[in-house]
Chains A and B, each alone.
Chain A
Amino acid sequence: MNATAFQEFFKIHNILNIQVIDRRSFFQRKVIDITGRYAAFRCREPNVEKSDLIIEIGHFTPNLQGCSVLDGEYYIKPNYFFHKEEHYKLGGFLTFDVEGLEEDICRVRVDANFTGMPFVAGLVIDFFIHYCITIRGYSLLHASGLSKDQYGVVFSGRGGGGKTTLALAGVTKGNYEYLGDNFIICYNGEIYSFISDLNMFGYNLIPNVWNKFTMKEKIMFRMKEWLYKITLSYIKIFTAVSPNRIFTQRIRSNSKLRKFFLLLAGPEYQVETADRREIIQRTISNMKLEFFNFVRHIEAYACLLPASTFAEHWVNYAMSLEKNLPENIEYFLLTMPLTVRSQEIDQTLGKAFSEENISCIEGKVK
């Protein structure tokens, strides 16, 4: 291992230990910070022998001997996957390989050019966290979460559904505790926080966050909105805000799942109870849309090794949801318009934390 490489260690609730080895230069690391969004999981004690997921950032040489080639861009052999390159906006590209897909320790190497680097965390690292969590029997939900004395509520949905809006309103106005804004981990009815930076853009900015901004950040924020407008919604840069800055004392690490809301942006405000099976199906669609590139990557691997863990990933994810989402809690389908009124938010939070429906659940348990 290169002695000059910069190393960091992350620990997600005793579920997953991640080691990140960054081979980029000091300057590149400072300009594009990849691991910043996992800051809440950073640990000082290096735990080298027990890393479950190792991520190396920087130039690498793929191990192609004996690989089958698909579509001229996938190089695949048992336990090994290499994807040549993938292009993004502004000429950004990234390429990665994975070793140990079917084993306990997953080793991911990823390389990208300057404009491709900002996509590394969201498209590659997040997926492999999701993958490693799933093979350990846990489920990652694309959702935000709130809690009040071991009473946890999850709001799952796609962008524009209102995850962040509800979570921020719940913490700042409703005095609930915060579990996460983008991902939540679920295990046998227990939910664990996944604290990542809040992605702020014009539509979900609230005064509490705006007031915590320094003058420089306020100017940058307005500049990004302006850039979005003049490039005709081509370049959309979110402002990452650490939740620790906004509500330090209000973050919780785990809770018990009591209500599950699936959010959709629709024509009018509506809450209805939903069937658990249907919610699970929608949750899988939600995750596939979040990592849509991997839907295709997994299909490529499945062409050669159809019975392997990686090829069966979406089936495994469905099974983990089936196991981890309890049958005796309430599931709701919540439709909200894109421009939601604050009284509707209050109404939703009120319904989420009202105890009145809980009596019938306890009745069932008895």
Chain B
Amino acid sequence: MRKISYLNIHNLLSVAIHHQEELNWFPELNQPMRFFQVDQIKGDPEIIMEIGDFQPQIKNCFIVDHKYYIRQNYFFCDDSFKGLKWRVEFHGFEEGPTRVKLHIQKMDMKYHLTPGIIYNGLFLRQLIAYHLIRKGACLIHAGACAKDGKAVVFFGRGGTYKTTHIIQFMRQSRGWNFMGDDTLILSGKHVLSFPYSLSFFGYRYANLPDEQLSVLDRFRIFPYSKKFNPSSIGVEKQAEIVALINCSVGVGIPLNFHPADGEASIRDLARQSAVDDYTNASIGHTQTYPKYVEAYSLVFPENGLSKRWQEVMKQMTCLSSIKPYHLEVPVDFLDHLGGLGKNNVYKQIDSVIKVA
């Protein structure tokens, strides 16, 4: 049986997903954007995603690398990556509302448990990012907590312990609400929450000292997600940024928190958010969507897609008045988490922000 679920992303964007019943096995895991789920949307959705088998319309297409079928505003390909095979067709690839048809064959067992994460990670997130840019906002690769309408944003590449910092910061300084630990929407000087897989964060926040999941945790998360109540975590919808914290990890360096250069921080944030377009950690860093865009640019060099991150750089110039900081931690940081009491970096962050 086919179902339609709707997402309303802060009244900026609406998405319709047509999918099979199977997605409801573990709804919290399979719909990472469940936070935005609504029963009804007003007007036409900007993104329509149809999951299931389809017949592509590849007449009169340019063909790149024997597998990418391209014509104006249209893209089709048959692709595979690590135990996954898919056929995907985009109508409105570059302009107008985007209609995506996606058929996924899962050769690897583990993907059968979380089919929703696959289509979200492969295309939906990137499409949301592109449509937001056209609306004057953008998706950034960062996490944040907020209190009284003021937000502290932690940004950095994957594996720089953004989630751990947020968990620890929320625990150790009272009164902070959650906004997102991986992705946020940036609109002017404000951030809008984008809690991606809220139950994952909920599980970590309730049970773990840091973000690392053990093998046992990976099993426990299924029953947890079944009875997870999204309202158990306070999520703040919108807040003004008061501090930007650039997180990084180094080999053989001490823990260090200090003010940073403003211009460089904003450039880093833009650059790292652009890179997030290239990678997706949940499916082992596929580079599918950006590669499709590059193939499309080969056929149509002048297009809005390839210039999308230049657009973001322009939007970010208004962030220059915000105080930036740099938080460096050693690689073995997690082993010493327990010993943070004396030289507590999170207390330090809290006091710095109070002064600001």
Do the two shown chains form a genuine complex with each other? yes
Q: Which residues of B contact A335 (CB under 8 A)?
A: 62
Residue B80 CB within 8 A of the other chain = yes
CA distance A67 to B297 in the complex (A): 35
Residue in contact with B301 in the complex, picked from A265, A281, A300, A338, CB distance below 8 Å: A281
Please, what's the 1-or-0 string for A60-90, where 1 marks a CB less than 8 Å from any CB in chain B? 0000111111111101000000000001000
Q: Which residues of B contact A278 (CB under 8 A)?
A: 301-302
Q: Which residues of B contact A265 (CB under 8 A)?
A: 62-64
CA distance A306 to B266 in the complex (A): 12
Q: A72-B158, A300-B275 are in contact. Are A160 and B64 (CB under 8 A)?
A: yes
Residue B274 CB within 8 A of the other chain = yes
Residue A286 CB within 8 A of the other chain = yes
Chain A interface size range: 35 or more
Residue A288 CB within 8 A of the other chain = yes
Q: Which residues of A contact B274 (CB under 8 A)?
A: 299
Please, what's the 1-or-0 string for A277-302, where 1 marks a CB less than 8 Å from any CB in chain B? 01001100110110011011001101
Residue B299 CB within 8 A of the other chain = yes
B contacts with A, residue count (CB < 8 A): 42
Quick one: which of B250-286 are within 8 Å of A by CB?
250-253, 267-268, 271-272, 274-275, 278-279, 281, 284-285
Q: Which residues of A contact B290 (CB under 8 A)?
A: 295
Residue A234 CB within 8 A of the other chain = yes
Please, what's the 1-or-0 string for A299-322, where 1 marks a CB less than 8 Å from any CB in chain B? 110110010000000000000000
Residue B294 CB within 8 A of the other chain = yes
Q: Which residues of A contact B291 (CB under 8 A)?
A: 289, 292
Residue B60 CB within 8 A of the other chain = yes
Give the distance to chain B from A309, nearest Cβ to Cβ, in Å: 17
**Residue contact A70 to B159, C-beta cutoff 8 Å:** yes
Q: Which residues of A contact B63 (CB under 8 A)?
A: 160, 265-266, 338
Q: Which residues of B contact A258 (CB under 8 A)?
A: none
**Residue contact A160 to B61, C-beta cutoff 8 Å:** no
Q: A67-B250, A264-B299 are in contact. Are A87 and B287 (CB under 8 A)?
A: no
Residue A122 CB within 8 A of the other chain = no
**Residue contact A289 to B271, C-beta cutoff 8 Å:** no
**Residue contact A160 to B65, C-beta cutoff 8 Å:** yes
Residue in contact with B251 in the complex, picked from A65, A72, A303, CB distance below 8 Å: A65
Please, what's the 1-or-0 string for B78-101, where 1 marks a CB less than 8 Å from any CB in chain A? 001010000000000000000000
Give the distance to chain B from A106, nearest Cβ to Cβ, in Å: 22
Q: Which residues of B contact A292 (CB under 8 A)?
A: 287, 291, 294
Residue in contact with B298 in the complex, picked from A69, A158, A306, CB distance below 8 Å: A158
The 8 closest A-B pairs by CB, nearest first: A72-B159, A71-B158, A265-B63, A285-B298, A281-B301, A70-B157, A69-B249, A160-B66
Residue contacts A-B, CB under 8 angstroms, 15 given: A67-B250, A67-B251, A71-B157, A87-B82, A160-B66, A264-B64, A265-B62, A267-B62, A282-B298, A285-B295, A288-B294, A289-B294, A296-B285, A299-B271, A335-B62
A interface, CB within 8 angstroms of B: 64-73, 75, 87, 158-160, 234, 264-267, 278, 281-282, 285-286, 288-289, 292-293, 295-296, 299-300, 302-303, 306, 335, 338
B interface, CB within 8 angstroms of A: 59-66, 80, 82, 157-160, 248-253, 267-268, 271-272, 274-275, 278-279, 281, 284-285, 287, 290-291, 294-295, 297-299, 301-302, 331
